[in-house]
Amino acid sequence: MAPNVDDRLSWLAMQYVLGELSDADRDQFEIRLADDLAACEAVAQASRLQLALQAAIASSVAVQIRAPLDRLRQESGVIPGLPQSRSATGCTVIAEEIESSAIQPVDCVDIKTRSQRSWQAVGAAVVAVACLFMVMIFGWRDGADSDRSRVASHSDQAALELVSRWRTEMKFTDVDSDDLDDDVHDNAADMAIPAWLLAGVSLEKHGVVDSQLEDLQDN
Amino acid sequence: MTLATDDTRFANLAMTASDAADSDGMNPEDPNSGSLDSGARLSPDKVDQLYAEYGTEVQAFLVGVLRDRTAAQDVCQMTFGRVLEAGHTARDETIKGWIFKVALREALVYRRQTARHDRHLKQYSRDGTWVQEAEEDDLVRNEDVARLRQLLNQLPPDQQHVVRQRIYDGKTFAEIAAELNVPLGTVLTRMRLALEKVRKWFGKG
């Protein structure tokens, strides 16, 4: 279906507003503008449409950038009322830094092709997964360390109890280095063989009767 | 194109616009001469009424001609200054056409005087500054922007892409065709079809 006159004029006016006409076509159209009110109105309409489209595209671009960053902030999760791990706080800081650098003035935003937008989405998903992974790792390590410290303290306590009990049973005393010589002599005294043992050995050797041994034991 | 050639071209166009304005059943005297009796002029209230009725459309027209919002506002003021001086020479039924002719003439004279800045104006529009300025005046309404955003999402993806690349990124149709590796005519067709749909949808709202 061929475009009607209005559509052709509107298209020509939009090309003129966008600066897409050749120099000759532009001059010709401007001569027409001097005598054609409909052409002037078409130019005015095309100009307003272009400005409105620019504003609409700019606002839709801003929405597309903000949505994945909001999801990332939610997943890295600062939950009010609960103690925050450093990794979760770090992910939140990272998300805010990405947002502050990504939410640029709209004139700096570049519209990507569909494939590039999909790669952007993949990149955002990878960043979200990495932050979750960090939360899991740091959370696991924090938990393991606390468990190990609890086991260590329990083991130490048990060991001390065993040592103290053993000392009590064996009646060991702490040895002071200054008293080593005295202790040696004392030990030597303690290690001396009792006379009755020696006597018992010698009597047995010389055939002493058992009754005499009993007498000695009574003494 | 040399500046001298630009001057000649602009002078011819301005003369053509002036001739057209003079031939519109008006007083043979030059509307810009300012030599008319002040008592015969349009009243300020009448000019205000004309500005309220046609001012936005005239300004949008001048934006399309000059591609510079600030220059368009300046030339619009000059235009209605001429309306105050010589608007009484036009018939009521053709006053709108007369205003647009005066606006075109003023715009061409302005462009002639600032011819060496045309390249800077094109770069100015590529930087997206028009987007920022669109929020400052009444050429673009917020409700229109919101509705247009929805309409754009309903376009086929290939038409959406061309519209975004041309209107927002400021790439030429030739550049878009080269990037997409399609003929220039294909890009122009996609843009034309997209604009027809948007205009129709927009007109129904």
Q: Is A62 on the interface with B (CB under 8 A)?
A: no
Q: Is B27 on the interface with A (CB under 8 A)?
A: no
State the pLDDT at residue A167.
61
Whole-number Å distance between alpha carbons of B163 and B143: 20
Whole-number Å distance between alpha carbons of B135 and B129: 11
Angstroms from A98 CA to nearest CA on chain B = 23
Angstroms from B171 CA to nearest CA on chain A = 10
Whole-number Å distance between alpha carbons of B45 and B38: 15
Model confidence at A179, in pLDDT bands (50, 70, 90)? low
Q: Is B121 on the interface with A (CB under 8 A)?
A: no
Select from A1, A25, A30, A114 the residue whose CB has the most chain B CBs within 10 Å, as the one to mutate to test that interface.
A30
Q: Is B65 on the interface with A (CB under 8 A)?
A: yes
pLDDT reading at A211 higher than 70: no
pLDDT reading at B130 higher than 50: no
Residue B62 CB coordination number (10 Å)? 29
- B172, closest residue in chain A (CA to CA): A20
What is the total residue count of chain B? 205
State the pLDDT at residue A125.
86
Whole-number Å distance between alpha carbons of A113 and B164: 10
Measured between beta carbons, the chain B residues lying within 8 angstroms of A16 are 64
Average pLDDT over every residue of B106-115: 91
Whole-number Å distance between alpha carbons of B174 and B191: 12
State the pLDDT at residue A126.
87
State the pLDDT at residue A68.
72
| DSSP assignment of chain A | ----HHHHHHHHHHHHHHT-S-HHHHHHHHHHHTT-HHHHHHHHHHHHHHHHHHHHHHHHHHHHHHHHHHHHHHHH---TTSPPPHHHHHHHHHHHHHHHHHS--GGG--PPPHHHHHHHHHHHHHHHHHHHHHHHHHHHHHHHHHHHHHHHHHHHHHHHHHHHHHHHHHT--PPPGGGHHHHHHHHHHHTSPPHHHHHHHHHHHHT--HHHHHHHHH-
Whole-number Å distance between alpha carbons of B142 and B149: 11
Whole-number Å distance between alpha carbons of A180 and B53: 117
Tell whether the torsion through CA atoms of B129, B135, B138 and B142 is positive or negative.
positive
Specify the pTM. 0.56
Angstroms from B127 CA to nearest CA on chain A = 6
Cα torsion for A49, A54, A59, A62, to the nearest 10°?
160
Residue A59 CB coordination number (10 Å)? 16
Q: Which of A169, A64, A81 is nearest to B153 (CA)?
A: A64
Angstroms from A103 CA to nearest CA on chain B = 15
ipTM of the complex: 0.78
Whole-number Å distance between alpha carbons of A53 and A51: 5
Whole-number Å distance between alpha carbons of A191 and B109: 128
Select from B13, B99, B131, B139 the residue whose CB has the most chain A CBs within 10 Å, as the one to mutate to test that interface.
B131
pLDDT in tens, A38-92: 999 999 999 999 999 999 999 887 766 666 777 777 776 655 555 555 554 444 5
The proportion of chain B whose per-residue pLDDT surpasses 90, expressed as a percent, equals 55
Residue B128 per-residue DSSP state: T
Task: List phi, psi (to 5°) of A176.
Answer: -95, 135
